[in-house]
Structure formats: structure tokens, C-alpha cells
Amino acid sequence: MRPDAVRGHLDGLILAVLEDEPRHGYAIIEALQARSGGALDLPTGTVYPALRRLERAALLSGTWSTVAGRERRTYTLTRAGRHALAGQRAEWHEFSAVMDAVLRPVRAAGEAS
Amino acid sequence: MRPDAVRGHLDGLILAVLEDEPRHGYAIIEALQARSGGALDLPTGTVYPALRRLERAALLSGTWSTVAGRERRTYTLTRAGRHALAGQRAEWHEFSAVMDAVLRPVRAAGEAS
DNA sequence: ACGCTATAGGTAGACAACCTACATATGTAT
DNA sequence: ATACATATGTAGGTTGTCTACCTATAGCGT
């Protein structure tokens, strides 16, 4: 998949992997890899700024902790974040339907299906 | 649908509506509206630059004509354009599958389906 | 005659978001 | 000691879409 493909849909992806449990940035990247069967391998320079953006937008709340000597920032979905996730899912379904409708090859009128 | 949603997928949409027949810019916008059931209403400031970009990339070839006193630039898919359309379709299916896989709510292990 | 709408094409500048590349640091294995 | 995995982050560039304009003709209503 080309690098830019997730543009405009990254927020939904991040919110989705935080739905079941809070995760820190690195774990979010790994979760996206796992759930996508390896297709998504987002660079840290994409994910970390996005997390800060989502936190600034109050869709996530982040807390620092130290685990095995390493600093972690763990993000949890806020109530607004859960709401936004629902919205992202709805938008995705609409957009996906539009893409399918337009991309599907058109049959000439009267052509057998 | 939010305005920016098509980002990264516009090329595929345009190529798709040109697959069955050549069209000029205005007709492309109308075709996208029609095929999307009105969900896609792209501004000319988005479509015309995209057409020039696609022509520069040799995926489209454009020719001027005058119809009912108005200038038209009619775009036709080149061979490279058809090839690119196939690639866009493949990319879309992959991307769509990834989005579905990640966005789908996760069930806890052992939970009944 | 005048204005409005539909048709048809276009540019300029702003902005958002993602990318590449780099920087920092600790723990663990070789 | 060296390398890799873990973990977070910033700087700067690119790209594509958006908003907001501009130009022009045809046809309609008033």
C-alpha cells in the first residue's frame, strides 16, 4: 500500500485500536500492523504527531508512566473520542459505498448482468 | 461527507468515470454526482487541476472542441490511464479491506460471535 | 434591456496531514 | 562493544484538496 493511502483516515484507525484498551504510541503502531495483517506500517513521524493532535482535540487523554525503565505515554479514549470513533465509522461506510459505486465498472444499458 | 474525504482517491474516481466514454470536465463532475447518488459534489477548483495533473501524467489525453458556442476540453483515457485505473481499483480494494479490518470492533477472546 | 441560471473552463493562495529524516534514550542479547 | 528492540519525539518538505475568485457564452424570464 502506498504510504499516503491512510490520509484522512488515520484518526479513525487510531481511535479504533484504542477502543478496547488504552495503549501507548509504540503499541498502537504494532496493533495497527497486527490488525491489518502487516499492510499498515506507519512511521513514528506519522503516529506521534497524530496522537498529540488527537489529544489536543480531547479525543484522547494521555498519561506518562515508566515501564521497565522506559517512559511511556499511554492514551485512553475520552467520551468525545468514542463519539468521534462512531462518527468515523459512519463516515467510512458512506465513503466506502461511494467509492465502490463509482469505481465499479459500468455496464452498458441492456447488457446482461 | 466531509470535503477532504476523497483525498488520495480522486484520481481513481476520475479515471473510473472516463472508462466507458470520454467526457469533459463539467460532465465528469456531473457523472461523479450521479454515480455517487449526490454524495460527491466536487468543486471545479478540485477537478480541473486534477485533470491537468492526470493529463500531464499521460493518463488522460485532452482535446479542445466547441459545442454550442462553448469551449470544451474532452478527456479520454490513455492506455496508461486504463492501466492506472486497474491499479487504483486494486489499491482501493486492499485499502478498503485494511480499513474494515481495523475499524471493525474487536471481540474479546472467547466471546461468542 | 437586464439579470439570473446553467454550462464551461480556469487560477491563486491557504491549509492540513502525511512523509522522510533525524535525534534521543534505555534494556537486552550477542 | 555492538546491535537491535523498545519508546518518544521534532523539523522541514511535499502534495493535494479546499475556498474564493475570475472569465465567458447561451438561454430564460421579466
Domains of chain A: 3-102 (1.10.10.10)
Tell if B37 CB is < 7 Å from nucleic strand D.
no
Cell digits of residue A31: 496493533
Q: How confident is the model at residue B112 (pLDDT cuts 50, 70, 90)?
A: low
Amino acid identity for residue B41 in this structure: D
Nucleotides of C under 7 A from a protein CB: 7-13, 17-23, 25-28
Cα(B6)–Cα(A95) distance, rounded to whole angstroms? Answer: 8
In the prediction, which pLDDT does B3 show? 83
Q: What is the mean pLDDT of residues B22-35?
A: 97
Q: What is the pTM of this model?
A: 0.92
Name the E strands within B1-113. Answer: 23-24, 60-67, 70-77
Q: What is the pLDDT of residue A63?
A: 98
pLDDT average, residue stretch A88-93: 97
Model pLDDT for residues A2-48, shown as the tens digit of each residue:
878 899 999 999 999 999 999 999 999 999 999 999 999 999 999 99
